[in-house]
Amino acid sequence: MSSAMGKRLEGKTIVVTGASSGIGRSTAMEFARTSPKNLKLVLAARRIEILKQVAKDIEKEVGDGVKVLPFKLDVSSSEEVRGFVNALPVEFRDIDILVNNAGLVKGLAKAPEIAEEDINIMFATNVTGLINMTQAILPIFKRRDEGGRGDIINIGSVAAREPYAGGSIYCATKTAVRTFTDALRRELVATRIRVIEIDPGQVETSDIMATRRRQMQYMREWSTPNPAQLRPQEMQ
Ligand SMILES: NC(=O)c1ccc[n+]([C@@H]2O[C@H](COP(=O)([O-])OP(=O)(O)OC[C@H]3O[C@@H](n4cnc5c(N)ncnc54)[C@H](OP(=O)(O)O)[C@@H]3O)[C@@H](O)[C@H]2O)c1
């Protein structure tokens, strides 16, 4: 990436949810590589030991110019998200960029056999978690000049545009992300708060791919050909 981009990132504080694996981990690594001299990264997920390893991997690759804070957080817990900002050390609280990446797929069932538990966990993580994180961090952005400043990057999916059999709930959660993102962008249009959505196609990551592999049997039912598969480090 260009050094101009690195310069623009210098001194910024970035929160990445779901940073323990896949796209979130790669996103964190890429931010660190782009601005290795002066950056703060808050890496949030439930598996704290893995986050600590990601922090070590970043330090090993780019040195100590990037300060990394591994933070144990379950975005599906409204209570944990509500306490998130105040639980950060003061030097990590002035957040500039939020990457709402945490998300999951559960099950392959078709209606009417979808487990209630799977419906609830997908909505609580992919939708309510993302909305709650946004609401927790937006006041920090809005306190800045000119109506506010900061970037919100929501990870959606092509599944919102091309729903597939056996993925109705996951696809519905990503459609909700898309609609929330579009409405939020309109609400903040007069500010310098940018609201961005990235909709990956298939990316070869852990949990999601394990489910997707099992979904191959449904692929033939998709309305469009399956897009070329990417690896997380190719998500640029
Ligand atoms: N892979 C694809 O083909 C694909 C395509 C389109 C969109 N996406 C989207 O990309 C995002 C990342 O997916 P991925 O493929 O990188 O999957 P992944 O490798 O399974 O990573 C998911 C991440 O989300 C975290 N997470 C899950 N539930 C969480 C919770 N309740 N609280 C906090 N963190 C949680 C996981 O960490 P812990 O388990 O440690 O909490 C993990 O770090 C998701 O939003 C997904 O919907 C993926």
Give per-residue pLDDT as tens, 206-236: 666 566 665 554 544 444 445 566 777 776 6
pLDDT at 231: 74
Q: Please state the domain extents for the chain.
A: 3-234
- 184 C-alpha to ligand 1 centroid (Å): 22
Ligand 1 is surrounded, with C-beta below 6 A, by 17-24, 45-47, 50, 73-76, 101-104, 125, 129, 155, 157, 200, 202-203, 205-209
**Is the pLDDT score of 127 beyond 80?**
yes
- 140 C-alpha to ligand 1 centroid (Å): 25
The whole model's pTM is what?
0.91
Residue whose CA lies nearest to ligand 1 atom number 18? 22
- 146 C-alpha to ligand 1 centroid (Å): 34
pLDDT at 233: 72
* From 205, 211, 235, mutation site for ligand 1 pocket: most ligand atoms within 8 A of C-beta: 205
pLDDT at 223: 44
Give per-residue pLDDT as tens, 7-57: 999 999 999 999 999 999 999 999 999 999 999 999 999 999 999 999 999
170 is catalytic: yes
Average pLDDT (171-181) is 98
- 52 C-alpha to ligand 1 centroid (Å): 17
State the fold for domain 3-234.
Answer: Rossmann fold (3.40.50)
The share of the chain scoring above pLDDT 70, in percent, equals 88
For ligand 1, what atom is nearest to the CA of residue 173? 47
pLDDT at 3: 81
Give per-residue pLDDT as tens, 179-211: 999 999 999 999 999 999 999 998 888 666 566
- 23 C-alpha to ligand 1 centroid (Å): 7
Please provide the average confidence, as pLDDT, over all residues in the chain.
Answer: 92
**Is the pLDDT score of 1 beyond 90?**
no
164 is catalytic: no
Residue whose CA lies nearest to ligand 1 atom number 44? 103
pLDDT at 213: 60
HEC assignment per residue over the chain = CCHHHHHHHCCCEEEEECCCCHHHHHHHHHHHHHCCCCEEEEEEECCHHHHHHHHHHHHHHHCCCEEEEEEECCCCCHHHHHCHHHHCCHHHCCCCEEEECCCCCCCCCCCCCCCHHHHHHHHHHHHHHHHHHHHHHHHHHHCCCCCCEEEEEEECCHHHCCCCCCCHHHHHHHHHHHHHHHHHHHHCCCCEEEEEEECCCCECCCHHHHHHHHCHHHHCCCCCCCCCCECHHHCC
**Catalytic residue (choose from 37, 67, 170, 218):** 170
